Amino acid sequence: MPYSEFSRDFTQFDARPMSPAIGAELLGADLTSLTDTLVEEVRAALLQYQVVFFRDQDITRAQHIAFARAFGALEIHPATPKDQPDREVLRIVHGPNSRGMENAWHSDVTWREQPSLGSILRAIELPEVGGDTLFSNMVMAYEDLDEDLKARLCEMTAVHDIARVFAKRLGKDTASLHEKFPLMEHPVVRTHPETGQRLIYVNTAFTDHIKGMDRTESDTLLKFLYSRAAIPEYQCRFRWAPGSIAFWDNRACQHYAASDYFPNTRIMERVTIAGDRPYLDADA
């Protein structure tokens, strides 16, 4: 179930859960008028539900950036063109000449030493139907494992590699990409720094192998762990509409952008909040 310690009575919006496991729409929130109370309550809702959604938000790119900055320092993604204004914004465009490629369960930028706290995604142009985004609760995915496997996983480290996805997209060879973004090691099970919960922290996009394990054995175990995100009981599904915004906790959940709208156009803008280095608290 969603983390209950942060449950509270909200004054800036009504929280309507999307599923028993994850997600809530924050009805009545107004992102054109940021206050300390609104930011505090959105953060609390994010910790409780892992992903929160806003409807009918007529905000500018500058307001999008300002909202994200209220939660921390912002990242610049290497896929953002160097001459783009507002480089904090990652523009994701798919249409007749570009089929969507985000249709795999993943956490964002786990190839960084300090992967993101969270991402805020805003709909710019949408297909008439399709292009939903799914989210999966990786705390539940961990908690439902048997105790022996949990203990084993908590002793493991995984290697994350930007080149698995972005070597081709950025048109760079693996060696040159690794000079700037070297292979990164993170625990297979991490502790959420604010809730203290443990969760599975490997993903099909960026996790390459488990350190020190035979490659075949590593691939088999990772395939099983990846499959946990696809369990419907851990999920919610968000149908986009004009003015919709999603804000997910990248430390707690994974997401999957359904690429079922080709050749129609879907344009989104994402602003990402920097996080900290994943760790596993032995006393959790």
What is the structure's pLDDT at 57? 97
Task: Please tell me the CATH superfamily of domain 14-273, with its number.
Answer: Clavaminate synthase-like (3.60.130.10)
Question: Which of 108, 161, 208, 249 does the annotation list as catalytic?
Answer: 108
| Catalytic residue status for 255 | yes
Please tell me the predicted confidence (pLDDT) of residue 171: 73
Catalytic residue, chosen from 43, 106, 209, 251, is: 106
CA dihedral (50, 53, 54, 59) positive or negative: positive
pLDDT at 7: 64
Q: What pLDDT does residue 173 have? A: 83
At residue 213, the pLDDT reads 97
Prediction pTM value: 0.94
pLDDT, position 9: 83
- Calpha distance 97→75 (Å, rounded): 28
Residue numbers in the chain where pLDDT is lower than 70 = 1-7, 283-284
Dihedral through CA 137, CA 142, CA 146, CA 150, nearest 10? Answer: 180
- 108 tagged catalytic: yes
pLDDT at 75: 96
